[in-house]
Amino acid sequence: MRFVFMLVALSALAAPALAVEPNRTNTAAPARWPFEQQVGTFLVHSDYDITPRSPLLGQLADLKTELEQQLQIQIHDEQVHLILFAQHHNYRNYLRLYFPNIPDRQALFVKRRGPGMVFAYENKNMEVDLRHETTHALLNASLPYVPLWLDEGLAEYFEPPVERRAASSPHHRTVKLRALVGRVPDIVELEDIAGVGEMGAAQYRDAWSWVHFLLHESDQSRQVLVRFLRELQAHSPPGSLARRLAAEMPDYRKRYLKHFR
């Protein structure tokens, strides 16, 4: 889930004291983190030894190439800070110190000006969370803006490991069952969503389904998405994706149902 907040400063990358007082003012020069390493475009800072997570970090490094291949846009080499914690309470206290109004989520992407920052802590969903949030980070480093529903739909699509994306997403079964009874989500309603607070489980599912449809239904559907993203990247306002889809694929609703059936 994406949250874009005003950053206090990049001094927020100071290494934690690990027993952070939420209201403490940090005036000292930033200390180094116990573990730091560069992995692709990600500069990783962690308060614990992340060597066992090397396979996951390798997957994140590969994500740039996967996005470029699937979406056919240039993913910029802008550095993204990946800040990892061993324990939830250290993660929570660190965020409360530097981002006091930020919600308590398992992982967060934060960006204002300059490099994006992804925060996470060790838990059973960490791999999925990091693939989701780093997708946000790479897209937002490469495009002037991304419509909220599409940003979340793409992050949902890329959060499973690569071998499971096309056919084994957690959303797949529900979307197939809905398609069997003729349920087609309204893409215009998704476009009208103004804030992440309006995104519930159903909206994440529906956004994922449209991304899956566009990427996999046909070369024609893929090119609708590719041209839309390329125009975004070229700072040429592409307008409504729903209107473009209706113009280029007038039977897209029937094709959506057939695709998932």
To the nearest whole number, what is the mean pLDDT of the chain? Answer: 89
User: Which run of H or of E encompasses 110?
Assistant: strand 107-110
pTM: 0.89
In tens, the pLDDT along 191-208 reads: 999 988 899 999 999 999
Compute the distance between CA of residue 224 and CA of residue 23 in angstroms, rounded to an integer: 49
Residue 166: predicted pLDDT: 87
Dist CA 167 CA 153 (whole Å)? 15
pLDDT tens digit string along 120-155?
999 999 999 999 999 999 999 999 999 999 999 999
Confidence band, pLDDT 50/70/90 cuts, at residue 1: low
The mean per-residue pLDDT over the stretch 105-113 comes to 89
CATH code of the domain occupying 10-142: 3.40.30.160
Domain limits, the chain: 10-142, 162-260
Look at residue 12 in the predicted model and tell me its pLDDT: 55
Distance CA 154, CA 249 (A): 21
- Band of pLDDT at residue 31, cut at 50, 70 and 90: low
Residue 23 has pLDDT above 90, yes or no: no
Two tokens, residue 151: 């940003």
Q: Is the pLDDT of residue 6 over 90?
A: no
The β-bridge relationship of strands 117-121 and 107-110 is antiparallel
In angstroms, rounded to a whole number, what is the distance separating the alpha carbons of residues 197 and 9?
25
Residue indicated by tokens 């846009």: 73
**Contact between 35 and 48 (Cβ < 8 Å):** yes
What gap in Å lies between CA 3 and CA 110, rounded to an integer?
6
pLDDT at residue 111 in the model: 87
- Segments in the chain forming alpha helices (H): 54-71, 88-98, 126-142, 148-158, 172-180, 187-191, 201-216, 219-233, 241-248, 252-260
Read off the pLDDT of each residue in 17-34 and give the average, rounded to a whole number: 49
pLDDT at 92: 95
Q: Work out the average pLDDT over 241-261.
A: 97
Report residue 10's pLDDT band, with 50, 70 and 90 as the boundaries: very low
DSSP state of 198: G
% of residues, the chain, pLDDT over 70: 88
Which residues contact residue 131 at a Cβ distance below 8 angstroms, ignoring those fewer than 6 apart?
Answer: 59, 60, 63, 158, 159, 160, 161
Rg of the chain in Å (alpha carbons): 19
Judged against a pLDDT cut of 50, whether residue 66 lies above it is answered with yes
